[in-house]
Structure formats: structure tokens, C-alpha cells
Amino acid sequence: MTEKKRKPSAMKILVIHGPNLNLLGEREIDIYGRITIKEINSTLQRVAKAHAAELKIVQSNHEGDIVDLIGKAKKSFQGILINPAAYTHTSVAIRDALSAATIPAVEAHISNIYKREEFRQHSLTAAACVGQVAGFGMDSYVLGLQGLIHSIATRKRAGEKEN
């Protein structure tokens, strides 16, 4: 009897947009530009499709909801692309959730947080991520997703070599 080759399942990635990102295109145009969350999501879906990846995209203004999403992520996803927004600078809870998730995460920011107000120049969450991309507008998300896909694929290959 011949064994059928299984088609590899698509890489699944959770994308989390933090507080106030639902207001992109309307607020602080001088900092964030006119790009909307809908445009970001559409672009991310195109990039994911080109890499045979599936995205679940969520936006929340609530820290606890974000922590819960991250906490459940390792059951269904191979990685997380996150823009914690204001929680970047304040949330030990999100940082700890990312660390506990044990799947790679990449932090993305539309603006360069290191050129902004002093309180925004420190990320509590970045240390729990495999990388951070900031300052390239929507391209920060695209570059972050591409880096995350590469990181997941590299981990998978390393795991296959161990088996």
C-alpha cells in the first residue's frame, strides 16, 4: 500500500493590533500618516498568501484581552506579529504573556518610537520578541511579518533536523 503525501499545513500567525490602532488614518496624521488598519490588514493578507501563511488579525483596546489572546496563541499559531501600541511602554502583563507563549513574536511600530517622546523610547515588550521593526510606516508590519515567517521556518527546519 502506498502512503499519500500530506500537504504541509499552512503556517498560522496571529496579528495583534493594540489600543487606538483602529483610529489609524484619522488620528495624528503627522505621526502615523493616512494609512488605515484595513489597508494594513489587506497588505498583510497578500504577503501571508504569497508565503503560504494564514493570518488571524485582531485589534483590541483592552490589555487583558490582548494577554488572553497571546496566552491561547501557542495552541493554534506558530507566531505572533504584534503592535502593542501604547502598551509597548507600560505593559509588563503583555511582555510576560509573550515570553510565556514560547512561540516567536515580532513587534512592529509604524513610527520610530526611539525618535518620539522620552516615555515612548523604551519597549517593555521587545525583549520577549525575536525582533522589532519600527519607523517604516506600514512597511514595519510587512517587514515584521516577513521576518517572523523566516524565524518560524528556521525553527521548523531546526526541529526537523533534530528528529
Give DSSP secondary structure letters for 34-80.
Answer: S--HHHHHHHHHHHHHHTTEEEEEEE-S-HHHHHHHHHHHTTT-SEE
**Residues identified as active-site:** 32, 109
For the chain, 163 residues long, give each residue's pLDDT as a single digit of tens.
455 555 557 899 999 999 999 999 999 898 888 999 999 999 999 999 999 999 999 999 999 999 999 999 999 999 999 999 999 999 999 999 999 999 999 999 999 988 877 867 779 999 999 999 999 999 999 999 999 999 999 988 887 665 4
C-alpha cell at 128: 520577549
Rounded CA-CA distance 22/27 in Å is 10
Q: Name the 3-class secondary structure at 142.
A: helix
Q: In what order do the strands lie in the sheet with 131-134?
A: 53-59, 11-17, 79-83, 105-109, 131-134
Fold of 11-162: Rossmann fold (3.40.50)
Domain ranges of the chain: 11-162
Q: Which residues of 39-61 are buried (b: 16+ CB within 10 A; e: fewer)?
A: ebbebbeebbeebebebebebbb
Q: Which of these, 53, 55, 74, 73, lies nearest to 10 by C-alpha position?
A: 53
Question: What pLDDT sits at residue 157?
Answer: 82
Question: What pLDDT sits at residue 163?
Answer: 43
